[in-house]
Structure 1
Amino acid sequence: MANFASIASHARYALPQGLPLKIAVLAVIGILIAAPLARILFDTLAPETISAWRDVVVSPLSRNLLWVPLSNTLILGVVVAGGCVLIGGFLAWLVVMTDVPFRRTIGLLATLPFMIPSFATALAWTSLFRNSRMGGQTGYLEGLGLSIPDWLSWGMTPTLIVLTAHYYALAFTVIAAALATVNSDLVEAAQMAGAKRGRIFMGIILPVALPAIVAGASLTFAGAVSNFAAPALLGLPVRMQTMATRLFGMIEIGQTARGYVIAILLIVVSAVFLWFGNRVISGRRSYATITGKGGRAKRFELGAARYPLFALAGTICFLTTVVPVVVLIASSLAPSSSALFSNWTLHYWTGLSTPSIAQGQAGVLHNPFIVSATTTTVALGVVVAIVGSVLGLMIAFTLARHRSGFLSGAINQLAFLPLLVPGIAFGAAYIALFGAPVGPFPALYGTFTLLVIAGTAYLVPFSVQTGRAVIQQVSGNLDESARLTGAGFLRRMIAITIPLASRGLAAGSLIIFVKIMRDLSLVVLLFTPTTPVLSVLAYRYASEGFAQFANAITVVILVISIAATLLANRLQAKSQPWLKN
């Protein structure tokens, strides 16, 4: 009886299971995610800076500071989202639901454009379509004697094309996954009842795919409005401003308060559209198509349209995947963009400093600044991948093993908050929080540490998704058994979870590595000469007219990113060998 009373007394005062872990995880992501975003808001509400809101929103300067950039941003978001849904949806329909030839090849090529950084596609565009308006080198087409109009070389039109070419792969992936759930028995039953293809599409396929279409539109809209690289390379030369480029400009010239106001408004624009998309999805009726019976994979027969549609799909994939890479490689070898495929030279790769070429710039492999940037970028990718994976695993473990409670909900909301925040706005938030000393801690601006912290925080949603996949591979019974024997949290993670899911964890780390390697929007405001990164260096070279160096650096990024992605895919396949049975 005494033992029972002792146990009851101990249970009364013991902390709930998992509470210390929840508090620790919430504190970490609160500092990494919530604190920077709160700081930029508070900085704009201080007595000496609150006037920045009036300057941006209602002053005579507001037209150029906000309303023109906002209108350009919304045009980019809406048109790119519409174009991505049309192109991605068309390719997804062909690959998943028709008998088009080489479906797997089209499906593979349709996912590749998102692997190519948007600034790489923008650089390839300028190598082809640049005219003489800005001076310097002209593009390949003008070198052939064609007259390229300004609207095709610079401004809104090329930016729309480049962003659509970059983001349609995202819409394709989301919509294809939804179309794969359409039970072909329903389609066949409608055909047997005499329904025409239009009726089948509107009555069966479209309702099933609608959530994915809205999700694809929301994601591509958010990507387009927050993209910095394409508007900066193709729009700024003709003074076409978006909110992302205007934010960058304000921070660059020291108008930080105005820049923070623009950052807050950019976050609101992105978040509102994503919220609206979720609202549309959650408010729709349910269309269940997965039953207890397996549906046969019966595809639409295209008949005489098979090869024309294949040619159209192949052309889209070729122009958005193969052409940019070929143009970038050729431009890094050609003395001039106007003659891409003649007089190739390795000088921009292996040449030493020559005063008569590129103002004495040495080739990529002999340029100490580029070599240093490569080392810094790879190191940044490795450190962010490791730290981010560990943090994501801890968050995923907390959410998987201790689901209930207010703290779990707060952790889940904060962990995915960066998805609503454009990269350049997130970078501005980190400047606001860590750009000056905080208590006993020194200012981190211009340090490698700040790049690591910002990169880790921005990629928390992806690391958590990876962590969830890893946690699902390990039975909770193993962890519970170890806990009952007295093993602590770290001991259980190191001895059980990580070894059993090491391949999946490594694959997820490589995906994070690729994302930070090719990201420009996040790091463009954090870039300093002491912490050079390849993506910003490529942008700087392109802005200063050194197209060959910019394209060569971009090729380096592509090679590293593609190699890491292929390795990640291989590890993911090996981490689930039962899928091969």
Structure 2
Amino acid sequence: MTHALSLKAASQRWASGGLALKLAVLLALGVLVAAPLLRIFLETLGPDAIAAWTDVTASRLSRNLLWLPLANTMILGFGVAAGCVLIGGYLAWLVVMTDIPFRRTIGLMATLPFMIPSFATALAWGSLFRNSRVGGQVGFLEGLGLAVPDWLAWGIVPTLIVLIAHYYSLAFTVIAAALATVNSDLVEAAQIAGAKRGRILMGIILPVALPAIVAGASLTFAGAVSNFAAPALLGLPVRMQTLATRLFGLIEVGQTARGYVIAILLIAVSALFLWFGNKVISGRRSYATITGKGGRAKRFELAGARLPLFAVALAICVLTTIVPVLILIASSMAPSSSALFSNWTLHYWFGASDPAIAQGQAGVWHNPFILSATSLTVGLGVTVAVTGTALGLIVAFVLARHGRGPLAGAINQLSFLPLLVPGIAFGAAYIALFGAPIGPLPALYGTFPLLVIAGTAYLLPFAVQTGRAVIQQVSGDLDESARLTGAGFFRRMGAITVPLAIRGLAAGALIVFVKIMRDLSLVVLLFTPTTPLLAVLAYRYASEGFTQFANAITVVILVISIAATLLANRLQAKSQPWLKS
């Protein structure tokens, strides 16, 4: 009897502490996140592959394999970080701290560029500035008779501009959130004391916002060094390589060991600067910017500078949001990029196959390969949204309800580890792990399940964040009461948590859907003819000179992504009413 009671007590402690659930979640994260990254490292240590380290880092080939791509990658990383902090910080200061007109409009437009895939902006740039250096169609400006210099059409400069236009939204969002917490009493006290605007900016506002500035810089740096689309479209035609494009090229030609070495180095570069940014932020948490006093926000009066500063802000937002989309739409209907706004035709959208146009390629809605890619991409987005949200909710539940101890710490670290890994390197890791059979399991390379598994793992951090917000909305007492009545974990989740927070879950799922829909870096290595995806098709068409088809496909991606994003924002506003205030 005593033995039975002790077993029952142990079982209750096991259940109440969530040990079984923790172990199950840790095992899942180990397979999805840790195993691929470990495998890609082990692949470079085999007897036949260890020489790849020397080839990449210290041989006659290393200059082209590593050092030149690394130099270009660092230039892009630091350049994009600086540009994004300047532009994002400028817009955040105007929106949050000044009396600029149409503040909300500028604030909304400043968040939109990150919704537009970087390859969309790169395609739009090519439609305008492409010159005849690499052959094929020239852009609109050269079609007007203007001589576009090579440095503006190809290489590091256009890639830098495109990436800044894409990523400055991240810096804006982070810095604006920090500026919104600046204590207006400090600003008013400084003004009463006679401090000038520059002194207030440098002595009060900048120190408070510095952690956010560093965070914005580290995030945009990591995004730039891991971006594949823009350097591939604007750099590869003139042989400008980054670590991401070099990794892609090596895997494509079968030099997998060298490619895995590049992947490891790319992960190290990205993770190092994200870690550095977090280190700086963690060391500067002593600023108290929110007090118990209420008060209205103190805005700087711009006086005569209001309209000029507004014009600059509006120009930045329009050039990075509206203009690229309009160019893509026009280019998808123009016979050539050199004549964007004349002789429009809907052939590239709805036309049947015509040998005299685009080598007989049928329009988007008559092309079975593109239609198949559309259904597969939407199917992938929906599947990853469901699986990612479900796994993220379970991980968030464990962290929220049983978040103590070393197991919970390991789960927390593993669930956010994909944030440190560039998408193309993550794809390479999945090829390393699942590209060959594992015991009785067949090789998954080129299959839809591999795309689902990789997408779920890569976007897990976003799903966990959504899950945490959802779990915080549901009182733990409800879950505990149901557990005491004998309800199991999945029964409690299905009957309590999910119904009570369905809007928040749906909004988070839509965000995951959008991210996988427009992601090129993750899927570009996992793409095969049997698993066509829209983002990769757009890149392939652009690389082969079918600009109109590439832009039309990109417009389809944009329409789906923007619609899903607007729906997600609407659901978030309903599930979190405070967002409206």
TM-score between both structures, scaled by the size of structure 2: 0.98
Alignment of 1:11 onto 2:9: yes
Q: Distance in 1 between matches of 2:367 and 2:206?
A: 54
Alignment of 1:335 onto 2:330: no
Corresponding residue for residue 201 of structure 2: 201
Give 1:207 shift.
1.0
Corresponding residue for residue 359 of structure 1: 359
Corresponding residue for residue 371 of structure 1: 371
Q: Distance in 2 between matches of 1:453 and 1:8?
A: 41
Q: Distance in 1 between matches of 2:360 and 2:405?
A: 63
Q: Distance in 2 between matches of 1:494 and 1:304?
A: 58
Q: How does 1:70-149 map to 2 (within 5 A)?
A: 70-149=70-149
Q: How does 1:24-423 map to 2 (within 5 A)?
A: 24-284=24-284, 286-423=286-423
Tell me the secondary structure at the aligned position of residue 307 of structure 1: helix
Which runs of 5 or more structure 1 residues have no equivalent in the other structure?
A: none
Instruction: Note the alpha carbon deviations across 1:140-196, whole angstroms, 9 max, x for none.
Output: 011111000000000000000000000000100000000000011110110001111
Tell me the secondary structure at the aligned position of residue 365 of structure 1: helix
8 Å CA contact 1:385–1:513 kept in 2: the answer is yes
Corresponding residue for residue 457 of structure 1: 457
Corresponding residue for residue 500 of structure 2: 500
Give 1:281 shift.
1.4
Tell me the secondary structure at the aligned position of residue 545 of structure 2: coil
8 Å CA contact 1:185–1:296 kept in 2: the answer is no
Corresponding residue for residue 470 of structure 1: 470
Q: Distance in 1 between matches of 2:576 and 2:262?
A: 45
Instruction: Sort the Cα spacing of 1:563 and 1:149 in 2 relative to 1 into closer, same or farther, 3 A.
Output: same
Give 1:11 shift.
2.7
Q: Distance in 2 between matches of 1:578 and 1:354?
A: 55
Corresponding residue for residue 21 of structure 1: 21
Q: Distance in 1 between matches of 2:383 and 2:545?
A: 32
Alignment of 1:570 onto 2:570: yes
Give 1:514 shift.
0.1
Counterpart residue identity of residue 149, structure 1: P
8 Å CA contact 1:159–1:230 kept in 2: the answer is yes
Give 1:10 shift.
3.9
8 Å CA contact 1:43–1:49 kept in 2: the answer is yes
Instruction: Note the alpha carbon deviations across 1:367-417, whole angstroms, 9 max, x for none.
Output: 000000000000000000000000000000000000111000000000000
Give 1:295 shift.
2.6
Indicate the larger mover: 287-296 or 559-568.
Answer: 287-296
Q: Distance in 1 between matches of 2:577 and 2:384?
A: 28
Which runs of 5 or more structure 2 residues have no equivalent in the other structure?
A: none
Q: Distance in 2 between matches of 1:13 and 1:143?
A: 76
Instruction: Note the alpha carbon deviations across 1:217-265, whole angstroms, 9 max, x for none.
Output: 0000000000000000000000000000000000000000000000000
Q: Distance in 2 between matches of 1:289 and 1:549?
A: 51
Misfit runs of 4+, over 6 Å: none
Give 1:576 shift.
2.5
Instruction: Sort the Cα spacing of 1:6 and 1:528 in 2 relative to 1 into closer, same or farther, 3 A.
Output: closer
Q: Distance in 2 between matches of 1:579 and 1:249?
A: 44
Tell me the secondary structure at the aligned position of residue 254 of structure 2: coil
Counterpart residue identity of residue 240, structure 1: M
Give 1:289 shift.
1.6
Give 1:42 shift.
0.3
Q: Percent identity?
A: 81
Tell me the secondary structure at the aligned position of residue 181 of structure 1: coil
Tell me the secondary structure at the aligned position of residue 470 of structure 1: helix
Instruction: Sort the Cα spacing of 1:114 and 1:21 in 2 relative to 1 into closer, same or farther, 3 A.
Output: same
Counterpart residue identity of residue 237, structure 1: P
Q: Distance in 2 between matches of 1:325 and 1:52?
A: 43
TM-score between both structures, scaled by the size of structure 1: 0.98
Tell me the secondary structure at the aligned position of residue 137 of structure 1: coil
8 Å CA contact 1:396–1:471 kept in 2: the answer is yes
**RMSD, aligned α-carbons:** 1.2
8 Å CA contact 1:120–1:554 kept in 2: the answer is yes
Alignment of 1:444 onto 2:440: no
Count of aligned pairs between the two proteins: 579
Counterpart residue identity of residue 524, structure 1: V
Counterpart residue identity of residue 9, structure 2: A
Q: Distance in 1 between matches of 2:427 and 2:285?
A: 39
Q: Distance in 2 between matches of 1:134 and 1:579?
A: 49
8 Å CA contact 1:183–1:296 kept in 2: the answer is no
Q: Distance in 2 between matches of 1:23 and 1:10?
A: 20
Give 1:101 shift.
0.5
Give 1:13 shift.
6.8
Corresponding residue for residue 560 of structure 1: 560
Q: Distance in 2 between matches of 1:125 and 1:321?
A: 13
Q: Distance in 1 between matches of 2:205 and 2:211?
A: 11
